[in-house]
Amino acid sequence: MLDACGVQSAEDLFSHLPSAVRLTRPLDLPAGISEYEIVEYFRQRAAENVNGHASFLGAGVYSHFRPVLVDTVVARGEFLTSYTPYQAEISQGTLTAIFEFQTMICQLTGMDVANASMYDGSTAVTEAAMMAARATGKGRILVARSLHPEYRQVLATYTRNQGMRVEEFGYLNDAGLLDAEDLEQKMDGLTAAVIVQSPNFFGLIDRIKEAADIAHRGGALLIVAFTESVSLGIIEPPAEADIVAGELQSFAISPSYGGPFAGIIATREKFVRQMPGRLVGQTVDTSGNRAFCLTLATREQHIRREKATSNICTNQALIALMATVFMTVYGKRGLRELAEQNLAKSHYLASKLKPRFCGKFFNEFVARAPGKPPDEINRALFKRKIIGGLPLGRFYPELADSMLLCATEMSRRADMDAVAEAFA
Amino acid sequence: MITKVRPHLSQNEPLLFERSSPGKHAYQLPELDVPAIDPRQALGAENVRAEIEGFPEVSEVEAIRHFTRLSTWNYAIDHGMYPLGSCTMKYNPRVNELVARIDGLAWAHPYQPETLAQGSMEIMARLEAALAEITGMDAVTLQPAAGAHGELTGILMMRALLEKRGNPRKKILIPDSAHGTNPASAVIAGYAVEHVPSNPAGGLDVGVLERIVDSDVAALMVTNPNTLGVFEQDILRVAGILHAKGALLYMDGANMNALMGIARPGDFGVDALHLNLHKTFSTPHGGGGPGAGPVAVKKELEPYLPVPRLKRSGKKWAWDYKRKRSIGRVRAFYGNFGVLVRALAYILAYGGPGLRNVTVDAVLNANYLRKKLEPYFDLPYKAPNMHEVVFSDERQAKHGVRTGEFAKRLIDYGFHPYTVSFPLIVHGALMIEPTETEGKRELDHFIEAMIGIAHEVETDPQTVLSAPHGTRTSRVDEVTAARKPVLRWK
Amino acid sequence: MYPENFRYTKEHEWVRVDGDIGTMGITDHAQNELGDIVYVDLPKPGVKVSQGGTLGSVESVKAVSDIYAPVSGEILEINTALADAPEKVNGDPHGEAWFVKIKLSTPGEIDKLMSAADYQAYIGAEK
């Protein structure tokens, strides 16, 4: 090969680089290690994390059982090691699975079209807001304080320099649901979108219809966000929404210290050309057989460049495939049954504590114990190999005495009883 | 004698929805250990949905056959060479998959107390340090989920720094050979985009830059080596021009595979760059993602990095949220942690000397392809190339075959096509990046296929134009898909 | 091929003026260069456009091209049939696939545009 290249050594291939840019020493990184040592290194790091504890953490990341079939499928090299399916003739596997994914997301959310995935829920909601601004030609966004606090932070970062203004509206102190009066008051003709989450950050089924009425009367779109996709197995889909944006982590995606997850955006047909991200469409091949390909790509950055609907290129395809396999395994009946189990567990736990808000909840709720700060409760629980709920003071100073607890199908009764004891 | 692929067993498989029959299922939940509850009572009847219309109902064996059959319709690196220029499709070591699934890492909740997440934080700290050393930069954020996300993060930080200096400025300069994400990201950061023409050699035009860089220019986004695979020889002068006018230099690090251990962006004037861990650092592409797009910056930009930042607190790692000048968050939590684990595993496996060898081999492979293919294809830019080479279809177009059609014929020889029609400055581009993964045998096989097709173009262009012939799905009608979009099953 | 009663722009739009109303579309040469048209993005009636300003865009599978207003004025009507049948732009660019009708605000502008003969010479030279 060196002869063919006309060089003495491969080093000569770099001789044209200006000497001033050359690194004249070796990289200050240790020499390579064997596969066995790599596994050992990461096992040791894993051991430095908490291990084998029960957990009642939710708040956007949920502990659900991952059906074995999920990793069986995504570990296949044909899915794992393939590129973005631009070459449709040799990518029908990925394309067909994405088409099925888009379909199932539409079925779940009640929307007409869904894209092939976004980075995560936070960027999906943010891109939905930018999409609403394009669709309406307006720049003001009204966002519920009960939207995941980190999602609101991402929204602020993205919108700051685009001539968009983000303002928050409150939640009701007793019900924990959105404050319709506050929203009504802040609504104006310059508002592009109202963003609400349901179940909201406090786990409560929020007032989508009221929000939709107010938004639509003011000429704004309604964006409904979700972080707990299992809730869609039992809760009425947000039919009044113009855009649904959320996070699919609950569909067999490991918590993995916060990622990789998969966000989605689903919407009405009339907004499809404003959508960010990849879309797969159905067509035929030259033999007339059904086939799939990436489509409506003129929305995207590789074609429209600075006028694109988003800068997203790489998405979360393999993670979306995990969700696809999960939805297939559970199916119509299973997702409902799974949601019912979550409901039963969380309501069992709640029956032993006093939920802070009176709104209806799915698998998360806010609780407090008079005279016992959340950290104290969590310390007591940790001694019993239990990670308690998320203390809310860091995000909501007015809820510093409360924590957000989540129970899923994986929560054991004995551990929930232990939580009740710690609160008592 | 060139070898085409032979036909291969392929099964028909309907969509899940067509396969469904009522009552079938592939799951089993445990018995409830708490009382069941009436959803209508718990949620209110108006909040309970009817059954999900059309949702699949299949058995476990049907589910696995469905996805396994689908998988056989894909090409993948595990099948063979994937010479997509700019995409760096290298082998994905399987140990990386295993370590990312270790329970203590895979089940770590992002809100578990810091004292109970020290292992995850140590992994991130170690990766940050390694990437800083490889790039010659001072600090790294691992938060961005992909390259474009990293670009946005980097430009937002530059904007924040320029604001602090008194003026965020108005525009970002982007070479006409750049990736489309560059301009799209700059716009989200609130900048106008000005495209800069390349010089006749395909590189940055120092003369043009000297003329147009003024106090309205916030930064230049440069890809180095550029999308022709050519190292920007004048990069130090370019950095000098920008810095003298108070502007900054951003680097798209998509092509870092050509530089590891050889040259460091931090040593040639770059102020910020992103890396694509799913390119240079071998994390699997997964049919389009997930990736990770860490951003490395110089000291002056460090205060603007997204929150939270890792910091040392005694003997422990902690998350630092109190950083006044930070641009804020670009996503929830800390990044695509599972992807970061895989990238660190790759870096540990190769080590410093090994990473340098990766680069040397990648550049050698690309140069070998260039030398062997140059007699058969037009090479519009002749500067020495590094990890990839870009030909044009000028000779083949004379016989009516364009790069896109030529690419489809490669499939019949068992290869994934190269990158088609990019960069835009090459009319009818064939952009080829072999990566270090491929041995001489696979490279020679690819070369034979390319030359064989070039010959076919002259003798039997019709066969090339109607390719692929050996695939389960023949040429797909993308025009109908776009004219009459069908985006879901009904 | 190129009707004598049309006027043409350098950006490959045509316009046919009847009284104070101009009907416009893109030329056969343009549709041929663009390939299979998959989508036409047009402004809403009532929008005011000025000569040479962006009026909308046409898309093929892998490209987007802006369309420029050949004359200034107000959009009176758009060809809604193109939404469901963009292929008409390839089939009958000078007839059925007109884009919009514009109420001319500055009729004299038409004189700045090319005649059919000039346009044919222009595209000949462009090649």
Show the 3-state SS of C44-105.
CCCCEECCCCEEEEEEECCEEEEEECCCCEEEEEECCHHHHCCCHHHHCCCCCCCCEEEEEC
For residue A303, count CB atoms less than 10 angstroms from its CB and return exposed for 0-12, middle for 13-18, buried for 19 or more.
middle
Mean pLDDT of chain A: 97
Cβ neighbours of C59 in A, within 8 Å: 298
List the chains bordering chain B where 3 or more Cβ pairs fall under 8 Å. Answer: A, C
CB contact at 8 A, B102 and B95:
no
Q: Are C116 and C8 in contact (CB under 8 A)?
A: yes
Quick check: A237 pLDDT over 80? yes
pLDDT at C125: 73
Structure tokens at A275: 């959508």
Asked whether the beta carbons of residue B482 and residue C87 sit closer than 8 angstroms, the reply is no
Above 60 in pLDDT, residue C127? Answer: no
Specify which residues A280 forms β-bridges with.
A294
**Integer Cα distance of A81 and A74 in angstroms:** 10
Please return the burial class of C19, using the count of CB atoms within 10 Å of its CB with bins 0-12, 13-18 and 19+. exposed
> So what's the pLDDT on residue A51?
86
How distant, in Å, are the alpha carbons of A12, A205, A227, B5 from that of A171?
A: 67, 13, 18, 63
By Cβ distance, the residue of B24, B91, B145 closest to A119 is B145
pLDDT bucket at B7, cuts 50 / 70 / 90: confident
Over the stretch B40-81, which tens digit does the pLDDT of each residue have? 999 999 999 999 999 999 999 999 999 999 999 999 999 999
- C93-112 confidence digits (pLDDT tens): 999 999 999 999 998 999 99
Contact criterion met (CB < 8 Å) for B42 and A360: yes
Mutate to test the interface with C, among A86, A294, A298, A299 (most CBs of C within 10 A): A298
Q: Which chain A residue lies closest to C60 (C-alpha atoms)?
A: A298
Provide the pLDDT for residue B2: 62
Q: What does A22-77 look like in DSSP terms, one character per residue?
A: B--S--SSPBP--HHHHHHHHHHHHHHB--S-EE---TT-------HHHHHHHTSH
Residue B341: predicted pLDDT: 98
Nearest CA-CA partner of B248 in B162, B184, B166: B162
**Cα Rg, chain B, nearest whole Å:** 25
- What residues contact residue A4 under an 8 Å CB cut-off, 6+ apart? B368, B371, B372
CB-based contact (8 Å) between C1 and chain B?
A: no
Question: From the candidates C61, C65, C67, which should be mutated to test the interface with A, based on the most A CB atoms within 10 A?
Answer: C61
| Listed residue (A329, A365, A339) closest to A252, CA to CA | A329
Q: Are A54 and A387 in contact (CB under 8 A)?
A: yes
Please tell me the total number of residues recorded for chain C in this structure: 127
Q: Over the range A234-259, which residues count as b (16 or more CB within 10 Å of their CB) and which as e? A: bbbbbebbbbbbbbbbbbbbbbbbbb
Give the per-residue pLDDT at B154. 98
Which residues of chain C are at the A interface, by a Cβ-Cβ cutoff of 8 Å?
A: 38-39, 41, 59, 61-64
B400-437 pLDDT, tens digit per residue, is: 999 999 999 999 999 999 999 999 999 999 999 999 99
- Count helices and strands in chain A by DSSP H and E runs: 13, 14
CA nearest neighbour of A208 among A327, A354, A360: A360
Of B416, B395, B414, B417, which Cα lies nearest the Cα of B406?
A: B417
Q: What's the start-to-end Cα distance of chain C, in Å?
A: 17
ipTM reported for the complex, 2 dp: 0.98
**Cα dihedral sign for C90, C96, C102, C104?**
positive
pLDDT of B255 above 80: yes
* pLDDT tens profile A326-382: 999 999 999 999 999 999 999 999 999 989 999 999 999 999 999 999 999 999 999
CB A102 within 8 Å of CB B487: yes
Q: With 90 as the cut, is the pLDDT of residue A111 above it?
A: yes
**CA–CA separation, C34 vs C54, rounded Å?**
18
- Which residues in chain A are contacts of C39 at CB distance < 8 A? 273, 298
CA distance C122 to chain A (A): 28
Tell me the backbone φ, ψ of residue A143, rounded to 5 degrees: -125, 135
Quick: pLDDT tens for A118-170.
Answer: 999 999 999 999 999 999 999 999 999 999 999 999 999 999 999 999 999 99
Residues B138-167 have a mean pLDDT of 98
Q: How confident is the model at residue C126 (pLDDT cuts 50, 70, 90)?
A: low
Mean pLDDT of B84-106: 97
To the nearest whole Å, the CA of C65 is away from the closest chain A CA by 9
Which residues in chain A touch residue B25, judged by CB atoms under 8 angstroms apart? Answer: 330-331, 333-334
Backbone torsion region of residue B294, taken as left when φ is above 0, otherwise alpha when ψ lies between -120 and 50, otherwise beta: beta
Question: Best mutation site among B476, B477, B483, B486 for testing chain C: the one with the most C CBs within 10 Å?
Answer: B483
Q: CA dihedral in degrees (B153, B156, B158, B162; nearest 10)?
A: -170
A258-307: pLDDT as tens digits: 999 999 999 999 999 999 999 999 999 999 999 999 999 999 999 899 99
CB under 8 Å to B407, separation ≥6 — which residues? A87, B417, B418, B420, B430
Residue with tokens 């090409």: B75
User: B482: which chain C residues are within 8 Å (Cβ-Cβ)?
Assistant: 38-39, 59, 61
Which pLDDT belongs to residue B127?
A: 98
Separation in Å, CA A260 to CA A148, B106, B118: 18, 10, 19
Q: At what angle do helices B440-459 and B337-373 cross, to 10 degrees?
A: 60
Asked whether the beta carbons of B57 and B23 are under 8 A apart, the reply is yes
* Pairing mode of beta strands B419-420, B429-432: antiparallel
The answer for C 32-91 residues in CB contact with B (under 8 A) is 36, 38-39, 59, 61-62, 86-87
Does the beta-carbon distance from B479 to C36 stay under 8 Å?
Answer: yes
pLDDT of B26 above 70: yes
pLDDT at B3: 73
